[in-house]
Amino acid sequence: MEVEDILAAAKAKNEHPFLILLDEIEDPHNLGSILRTADCTGAHGVIVPKRRSAAVTVTVSKTSAGAVEYVPVARVSNLGQTIDRLKEEGVWVVGTDVTAHEGVFGNGVFTGPVALVIGNENKGMGRLIREKCDVLIKLPMQGQINSLNASVAAGVVMYEVLRSRQAQE
């Protein structure tokens, strides 16, 4: 599966592209959970780098509850170049980062073509990927821990994309 195929599938449905970009998600359980939630929230596809990223394995398939059969996964050589190509197609690139100033809820960035970037479980997004994002958002935190598991955070934000799009209909 190629990124162009995912964009074409969104266009064929007459929908704004909704993509999930994973910046070095290494845990197969996280990848499986993200694929499951991507299917449930109507994402058109997931993009992962070929290196330093979990591959679609039996563990990923089990964790995804079969979503690997429905959610296209494109493996790319260079995530930064892929972001540049998506921007050329009019896709708004939204990164998740605990140091962001913009909150995830009600900010209006999710109703058009969007690519949501989720960073590595420990390091978050790489510097170059963070700099390529059009906007950085964060989830509100009140406890002593300042971040969520990558798949949980991805799920919360994916559901905000779905909520925002449904509210617009």
CB 4 within 8 A of CB 10: no
| pLDDT confidence of residue 52 | 87
Ranges of beta strands (E only) in 58-152 are 73-76, 92-96, 102-103, 114-119, 135-138
Question: Which element (helix H / strand E) includes 81?
Answer: helix 79-88
Selection from 107, 120, 100 nearest residue 167 by Cα: 107
| pLDDT confidence of residue 103 | 86
| CB-based contacts of 51, cutoff 8 Å, min separation 6 | none
d(CA 22, CA 154): 10
Which residue's structure tokens are 């999930």? 20
CB 139 within 8 A of CB 91: no
Question: Which element (helix H / strand E) includes 92?
Answer: strand 92-96
- Percent of the residues in the chain that have a pLDDT greater than 90, as a whole number: 72
Q: Which residues of the chain have pLDDT under 50?
A: none
